[in-house]
Amino acid sequence: MKYELIGHGAEAKLYLIETNEKKDNYIFRFNKDLLKKLDIDYKEFEINYKENKIILKYRYKKKYRNEIIDNRLRKYRTRIEIKILEKLYNKVNVPELIYNDEDFGIIIMSYIDGYKLSEYIEKLDYNNILYNIGKSIGIMHKNNIVHGDLTTANMIYKDNNIYFIDFGLSFFSKRIEDFAVDIHLFKEIFKSNHWKIYGSFNKFIEGYKESFNDRYKDIIDRLKKVEARGRYKSILF
């Protein structure tokens, strides 16, 4: 099997794993040698999947943290991410969960073979894309899920669809404040990274309203207050 480290954040490593071994499905054999190369202290295991590429996310141990606290944090954050992927699957476009072990901080999911939206959105039908992003985020919020790291870099464009990835900072919430902050952070990052098309951001709001109309007014009112707080801070500092 081939493997490639495609992401290394503060909490986790992300590997792209590829195999050519196949019977009815593709076979991924995680033997001791491979796990050692991936720097994962785990038992040998095997996965059968319909595609020949998968993503392995591993929340590695933090040696500077107390071991008991570190294990609890890794387990808790992995569990939340697993639950969120399970809840969103078939509601919005997210990777399919294939295998997980929250005790060891391991999540294996499908590989979305597309392009980072951040690199292509300005060349695409961005009005329609923003509208559909808004609809999807509205569905997440309606299901009490806050993404926590909404950027076009965490969205994959494939076959005219947008797939959402990286739920490492996501959490469950019913608070209007959390929904408003989620939108605010996306809006600010979008404005910074895609200023040429920022004038179309209202399409996101239109899509959001369509899928989460029952709390739309309260959330947008809170969003205005969140934005006002940001402007006030910039004046002071």
Domains contained in the chain, CATH given: 2-110 (3.30.200.20), 115-236 (1.10.510.10)
Instruction: Detail the DSSP E strand segments found in 88-223.
Output: 97-101, 106-110, 115-116, 145-146, 155-158, 161-164, 171-172
> Which of 41, 103, 113, 149 is the catalytic position?
149
pLDDT score, position 27: 97
**182 catalytic per annotation:** no
Mean residue pLDDT of the chain comes to 94
Report which DSSP code applies to 105.
T
Label residue 56 by pLDDT band (50, 70, 90). very high
Taking alpha carbons only, the member of 130, 158, 136 closest to residue 92 is 136
Residue 234: pLDDT over 70: no
Q: Answer yes or no: are the C-beta atoms of 168 and 12 closer than 8 Å.
A: yes
pLDDT score, position 9: 86
Taking alpha carbons only, the member of 3, 24, 21 closest to residue 108 is 3
Q: Answer yes or no: are the C-beta atoms of 134 and 203 closer than 8 Å.
A: yes
Q: How many CB atoms lie under 10 A from the CB of residue 126? A: 20
